[in-house]
């Protein structure tokens, strides 16, 4: 079976710095993968390459066996949605407007707002719990609400693959959990393939089915959280002395730095 999205020997250089050093990795179908690693390990660059926002210096990304660089970018947009890390909407934009923008790859000047668009946007809005706030200005929302609005925008794109860069930045504990459970719930409902960059290794352990660990632009290890998140591998990845306990609630590994 061809994986929904696979990377083969990705290299990425900016001037003299090597950001990615030959990464080959597949996203498992219908699962949530978390990309982890220390700062500067190439997490975001990998995600951007997967979403064809960044053209790799060499190597290629394939979408179900097709080379993404050679595909029509609109077709890609109907199958892959990506939420960058820090995004700002134009000033004066309202929640409903923003989420509607997610329909762009399915729209054209004569197909501006089909019944299907309306249904999907409404569904996206409800599933993140912002249905009552469609007419609010984006800048009037709290950080958590704003993040949910952006997630709703990529959901409205209605793709099978979702790439998220740090979806929990700026969020407090509750909202971190809420946003990630939301992603988990939506993923289960629609059998999405999700890849997200996460800083917090414990959140990654709890909310993902698959861990991709990077270091210095290389793939260090990947696999099931139970197998990847161990004392030795965390020491390898982060050069951090730690204990790994078991979360009594979820049964997943939990890292506690020494």
Residue 234's H or E segment, with its range, is helix 231-238
Between 153 and 182, name the residue whose CB sits nearer to other proteins.
Answer: 153
DSSP symbol at 132: G
Which residue of 21, 31, 40, 53 would you call a contact of other proteins, by CB under 8 A? 53
Length of the chain: 258
- The C-alpha atoms of residue 97 and residue 88 are separated, in whole angstroms, by 14
Between 143 and 223, name the residue whose CB sits nearer to other proteins.
Answer: 143
Farthest-apart Cα atoms in the chain, separation:
60
Between 46 and 76, name the residue whose CB sits nearer to other proteins.
Answer: 76
* Residue-wise DSSP of 175-210: HHHHHHHHHHHHHHHHT-EEEEE-S-HHHHHHH-SE
- The strand pairing partners of 256, in sequence order, are 243
Between 88 and 174, name the residue whose CB sits nearer to other proteins.
Answer: 88
- The C-alpha atoms of residue 155 and residue 151 are separated, in whole angstroms, by 6
Residues 6+ apart with CB under 8 A from 72: none
Between 157 and 213, name the residue whose CB sits nearer to other proteins.
Answer: 157
Between 118 and 224, name the residue whose CB sits nearer to other proteins.
Answer: 118
Residues 6+ apart with CB under 8 A from 84: 48, 53, 165
Q: How far is the CB of 14 from other proteins (least distance, A)?
A: 11
Between 2 and 14, name the residue whose CB sits nearer to other proteins.
Answer: 14
Q: How many CB atoms neighbour CB 87 within 10 A?
A: 12
Stretch 67-96: interaction string toward other proteins, x if CB under 8 A: -----xxxxxxx-xxx-x--xxxxxxx---
Sheet architecture: strand order including 17-27:
17-27, 5-14, 58-63, 66-67
Q: How far is the CB of 189 from other proteins (least distance, A)?
A: 22
Q: How far is the CB of 73 from other proteins (least distance, A)?
A: 5
Stretch 92-121: interaction string toward other proteins, x if CB under 8 A: xx---x---xx-xx-xxxxxxxxx-xx---
Q: How far is the CB of 53 from other proteins (least distance, A)?
A: 5
Q: Does the footprint of other proteins cover residue 248 (CB under 8 A)?
A: no
Which residue of 6, 45, 145, 157 would you call a contact of other proteins, by CB under 8 A? 157
Site for other proteins, rule CB under 8 A = 48, 51-53, 72-78, 80-82, 84, 87-93, 97, 101-102, 104-105, 107-115, 117-118, 135, 157
């Amino acid at each position: 079976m061809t994986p929904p999205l696979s990377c083969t020997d990705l290299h990425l250089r900016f001037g003299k710095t090597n950001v990615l050093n030959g990464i080959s990795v597949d996203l498992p179908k219908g699962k949530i993968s978390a990309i982890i690693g220390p700062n500067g390990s190439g997490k975001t660059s990998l995600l951007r390459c997967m979403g064809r926002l960044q053209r790799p210096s060499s190597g290629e990304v394939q979408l179900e066996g097709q080379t993404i660089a050679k595909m029509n970018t609109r077709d890609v947009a109907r199958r892959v949605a990506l939420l960058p890390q820090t995004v700002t909407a134009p000033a004066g934009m309202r929640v409903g407007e923003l989420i509607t923008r997610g329909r762009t790859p399915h729209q054209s000047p004569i197909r501006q707002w089909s019944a299907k668009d309306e249904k999907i946007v409404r569904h996206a809005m409800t599933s993140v719990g912002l249905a009552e706030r469609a007419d609010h200005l984006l800048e009037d929302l709290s950080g958590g609400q704003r993040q949910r609005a952006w997630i709703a925008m990529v959901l409205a794109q209605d793709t099978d693959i979702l790439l998220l860069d740090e979806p929990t930045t700026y969020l407090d504990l509750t909202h971190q959990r809420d946003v990630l459970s939301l992603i988990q719930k939506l993923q289960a409902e629609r059998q999405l393939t999700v890849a997200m960059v996460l800083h917090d290794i414990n959140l990654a352990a709890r909310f993902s089915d698959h861990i991709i660990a990077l270091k210095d632009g290389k793939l260090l290890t990947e696999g099931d959280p139970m197998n990847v998140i161990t004392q030795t591998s965390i020491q390898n990845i982060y050069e951090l002395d730690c204990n790994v306990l078991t979360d009594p609630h979820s049964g997943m590994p939990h890292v506690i730095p020494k």
